[in-house]
Chains A and B, each alone.
Chain A
Amino acid sequence: MVKINGELFDKDGKTVAEMLTDMDISGQRVAVELNEEIVPKAKYGETVLKDGDKVEVVRFVGGG
């Protein structure tokens, strides 16, 4: 199981890109941290999640 924003999901073996697609999130407006390290956008397609990983997906909305 992978902990995403504090909740457990069965995403073992999926890539970050697949996880974002599952969550219906556009990659242009997010920052993804995997175990406290930023995942570069260019690596979303090749970064595979595994059991015990902790992911923070920060979704930005407009206004400032």
Chain B
Amino acid sequence: MWEAADTVIPTREEMYAALEERHGVELQKKLNAASVAICGLGGLGSNIAIALARAGVGKLHIMDFDRVDISNLNRQQYFPEQLGQFKSDALHDTLKRIAPYCEIISEQVKLDEENIPTLLAEEDIIVEAFDKPDQKAMLVNCVLGNMPEKYLVSGSGMAGTAPSNMITTKRITKRFYLCGDGVSDVENGMGLVASRVLICAAHQAHAVIRIIAEEFDV
């Protein structure tokens, strides 16, 4: 078992220097200054959060109401010993192991039209990573309707085993990006397979990285 107390980890400066070497000084400066809210910490959100933490995003605000279930382990970034924990707590621990100097704010909360404007007030970029279509629509409508200054990256359509290349990133409007194939619905009896969910999660995470890099085309 990994024990933090017994292990010497690199300093903040050492980790930052390693990121700078990989990403370049300019990009790392932007990544470090960025703040991203991730709404929903399932197959999309947990993988997106890990990608962004590894890239050195300075602040992540992670939110989910649910607990880790055995049915999540086929695609979500949790461990069997975390079953029953709140996803927000479990992922917080994992992110801290990956990126100890990332500022992580985790909240066990169910987002709704009432609390969204307050909960998402701080971050520049918002990631929609829910699983239920009506909840996806609720968040997107709420953010686009009430928070026009935010960038929003949403995911829709990643179930089943259809080809990887059906999954794309579209720029719907100036500040609204949509990833996925748009059609593969879990309600059509298709399961969610790690590889295909990760492709969509990677599209979303990369859309966030490009927004941070001020590269807005798709």
Interface residues of A (CB under 8 A from B): 28-31, 33, 36, 38, 40-41, 56, 58-64
Contact = CB atoms under 8 A, between A and B. Distances in A.
Interface string B113-137: 0000000000000000111111011
Nearest to A27: B137
B141 A40 contact: yes
Nearest to A33: B173
B interface majority secondary structure: mixed
B161 to A, nearest CB: 13
A64 B130 contact: yes
Most buried by B among A29, A38, A62: A62
Given A36-B173, A41-B141, A63 B186 contact: yes
Interface of B: 40, 42-45, 129-134, 136-137, 140-141, 144-145, 154-159, 172-174, 176, 178, 180, 182-187, 190, 192, 197
Contacts of A60: 133-134, 136-137, 140, 154, 156
Contacts of A58: 140, 154, 156, 172, 178
Given A31-B144, A56-B173, A61 B184 contact: yes
A29 B137 CA distance: 5
B185 A61 contact: yes
B144 A33 contact: yes
B144 A62 contact: no
A64 B140 contact: no
Given A33-B173, A61-B184, A61-B185, A38 B131 contact: no
Given A30-B137, A33-B173, A58-B178, A64 B144 contact: no
Contacts of A61: 133, 156-157, 159, 180, 182-187
